[in-house]
Amino acid sequence: MNPCDPSFPDLLIIEEKSVMSICKENILSAWAPNLVLSRRPQITPTVLGILSLYQHVPDSRWPIVYSPRYNITFLGLERLHPFDAGKWGKVISFLKEEKLLSDSTLVEAREASDEDLLVVHTRRYLNELKWSFAVATITEIPPVIFLPNFLVQRKVLRPLRTQTGGTIMAGKLAVDRGWAINVGGGFHHCSSDRGGGFCAYADITLAIKFLFDRVEGISKATIVDLDAHQGNGHERDFMGDKRVYIMDVYNRHIYPGDRFAKQAIRRKVELEWGTEDDEYLQKVERNLEKALQEHRPDVVVYNAGTDILEGDRLGGLAISPQGVVKRDELVFRIVRGRQLPILMVTSGGYQKRTARIIADSILNLYGLGLIGPESASVSAQNSDTPLLPLEVP
């Protein structure tokens, strides 16, 4: 079958890792008019990924991204890490019980392909993930070493790739709607060429790079990282990049202690063991206000880790459940008050009760009118934000 024959189908999609051939210009032009096409092009895999992840989302769906494929369950291995590898599904279950959401109002996350990941990651790093030993080291689950890699890909890495795709999708939704939440993601220890701390893919970096490369009017970003741990992954990725302002608030005594990466932090707030609500919230509010005065971004990426919670043995802080909810409210109120799009990812959190707290926080944001179908900021678009022209070889 000749793909340039006039009778060839308008759109041919072959299975994974293949190339889509589009030979009817009018079909693609109607769907994505901002693409700059040559005569009867073949679209590269990277372009395909962008088109797949930046899908049109009906207004009836909230900009809350999730997939049941986020959750990691396999022979009980997930219990060998303190991270609750099923917390994302529990968050959604709680929100459904409260009648806030249903399957028809959620946005289904799509898995990031290798071509998507290569926007940031090196080929060498992605090849390393084909070795179970490397994945065991990154996820900190030693028995993964003994699993065939095809199982590791399916049961461990595919959920993380789906969450990564969800963060990329939520970035575009935040610009379109004024806000978005990926009920997953926040893999802030992963950079372009290394993973660690249960972070195998650099979803925060990817979301920002996709926006810079493909979305009109987005050229500056601020990362507000409020996970208990230093976000050394995105810090390494954006080292020296003046377009990206990083504010990081973390326990100074715990993992990763990456001195090199700290050089990328524009507003660094280092906390002591056992920091409590009042001190924490005052520091977050004061420094966030200053950060947004120093650098007015086109989008804010909020890494909302719940490992700041009291009793989290890895976070080492002492923030109450009410303090976590208040923190998220504070961030949304300040950012949305300045009419800036905000993308929230859920990041770390190592206790069983974190899922309930995340759900309570989302319910609180809705109750205050900071999120919801009618809460788009003035800066948000009423329809899909235009994509930048993309040259197709």
243, amino acid identity: R
Per-residue pLDDT tens, the chain, 393 aa: give them: 444 444 434 333 323 333 333 333 333 333 344 433 333 333 344 555 566 899 899 999 999 999 999 998 775 565 555 556 789 999 999 999 999 999 999 999 999 999 999 999 999 999 999 999 999 999 988 889 999 999 999 999 999 999 999 999 999 999 999 999 999 999 999 999 999 999 999 999 999 999 999 999 999 999 999 999 999 999 999 999 999 999 999 999 999 999 999 999 999 999 999 999 999 999 999 999 999 999 999 999 999 999 999 999 999 999 999 999 999 999 999 999 999 999 999 999 989 999 999 999 999 999 999 999 877 654 455 456 778 765 544
Please state the φ and ψ torsions of residue 325, each to the nearest 5 degrees: -60, -45
Peptide bond into 256 cis (omega under 30): yes
Please indicate whether residue 189 is annotated as part of the active site: yes
Closest CA to 104 of 69, 64, 70, 72: 64
pTM: 0.85
Residue pLDDT, tens place only, 266-278: 999 999 999 999 9
List of E strands, the chain: 64-66, 107-108, 179-182, 221-225, 244-251, 267-271, 299-303, 342-345
Q: How many whole angstroms separate alpha carbon 170 and alpha carbon 178?
A: 11
Q: What fold characterizes domain 56-367?
A: Arginase; Chain A (3.40.800)
- In this structure, what token pair is assigned to residue 176? 């379109």
Q: Are 326 and 365 in contact (CB under 8 A)?
A: no
CA 176 to chain centre: 16
Residue pLDDT, tens place only, 176-189: 999 999 999 999 99
Instruction: Spell out the domain ranges in the chain.
Output: 1-43, 56-367
Phi/psi region, residue 352 (left: phi>0; alpha: psi -120 to 50; beta: rest), is alpha
Q: Are 248 and 268 in contact (CB under 8 A)?
A: yes
Q: Which of 121, 188, 189, 295 is catalytic?
A: 189
